Amino acid sequence: MSQAHSNLHRSAWADWWEGTRRTDIWWTLAWFDIVLRYRRSMLGPFWLTLSMGLMIGGMGPLYSSLFGTELSKFFPFLALGIIFWGFFSSMVSDSCNAFIASANYLKQGYFPISLFVWRSMSRNLIVFAHQIVLYIPVAIWAGISLKSSVLLVIPAFILLLINAHALGLLLGLICTRFRDVAQIVTSVMQMAMFLTPVFWLPESLPGRAKYILWNPLAQMLDLLRAPLMGNVSPMYNWYGILGWTAFCVAAAALLFAKYRRRVVYWL
């Protein structure tokens, strides 16, 4: 039996693990994606850092005045909101095209499709690493004193990565089969940005609108942002994200097991 034939008849778990363990492939592909994107550029991905820094610096004083909030309190809140939301948004949009953008590889030979989800995630992690450094001068200027609760950002970030990978498989499969879904997801993410406390403070909501904070993006953002501001996110956010994670993983596992072999025929 040929290697390609045997690979196609692996179990879903073995197929997923084969793509996951090949860090040498998906990390190299992600790195070259960044290199090629910013080829002949003097600052490379730091252009993203610069542009985001200018946006945070311009919006901070303006929105602080609009909401009547002290700048030293609002500035780090806004900075983390914009940085993490940019990470969420790019991760979701890239998930929709994870397999479509890798069509050349998938058509030429056998590759576990999970490999290309890891590639997409790694590319966004590299960009995120260039942007999160903006928070350091903001935190120093605002005089934020971090407590031991800052360690909660580690399990929160792990949950984020688990969700990103599950959504990568889920949206990647659906958007490869139904190309219009990517446009729907983009529109939903644009709307969700205004329903998530990225630019506005949760305490500014009237009591009857608090249900907006139940959306998974708002809960995930609070789990990541609160520890970095010296606070602790409420337990209901942890319960909500754990439930959402279980749902995403179950849905992704079901679709992956059933349709992973059809991806190459949908490209």
CA angle, 190 then 158 then 83, to 5°: 40
- Residue 209 pLDDT class (50, 70, 90 cuts): low
pLDDT, average across residues 41-57 = 76
DSSP state of 109: S
Percent of the chain with pLDDT strictly greater than 70: 93
What pLDDT score does 18 carry? 87
Confidence of residue 146 (pLDDT cuts 50, 70, 90): confident
pLDDT band at 11 (very low <50, low <70, confident <90, very high): confident
Which own/partner pairs from 131-137 qualify as long-range (CB within 8 Å, at least 24 positions apart)? 131/48, 131/49, 131/52, 131/83, 131/86, 131/87, 132/83, 133/49, 134/49, 134/52, 134/53, 134/56, 134/79, 134/83, 135/76, 135/79, 135/80, 135/83, 135/228
* pLDDT band, very low/low/confident/very high, at 45 (cuts 50, 70, 90): low
User: Which range in 71-75, 91-95, 195-199 is most confidently predicted, on average pLDDT?
Assistant: 91-95
Summarize the confidence of residues 212-236 as an average pLDDT: 90
Mean pLDDT check: name the lowest of 13-22, 83-92, 160-169.
13-22
Is the confidence at residue 211, as pLDDT, over 90?
Answer: no
Share of the chain above pLDDT 90, in %: 38
pLDDT in tens, 77-128: 999 999 999 999 999 999 999 999 888 888 887 888 899 999 999 999 998 9
Give the residue, 203 or 1, on which the prediction is more confident.
203
pLDDT at 158: 95
Chain centroid, CA 98 distance in Å: 13
**Mean of the per-residue pLDDT values of the chain:** 86
Confidence of residue 5 (pLDDT cuts 50, 70, 90): very low
Mean pLDDT over 207-215 rounds to: 76
Q: Is the pLDDT score of 6 beyond 60? A: no
Min mean pLDDT across 99-113, 122-136, 173-187 is at: 99-113
Confidence band (pLDDT; 50, 70, 90) for 4?
A: very low
pLDDT of residue 253 exceeding 60, the answer is: yes
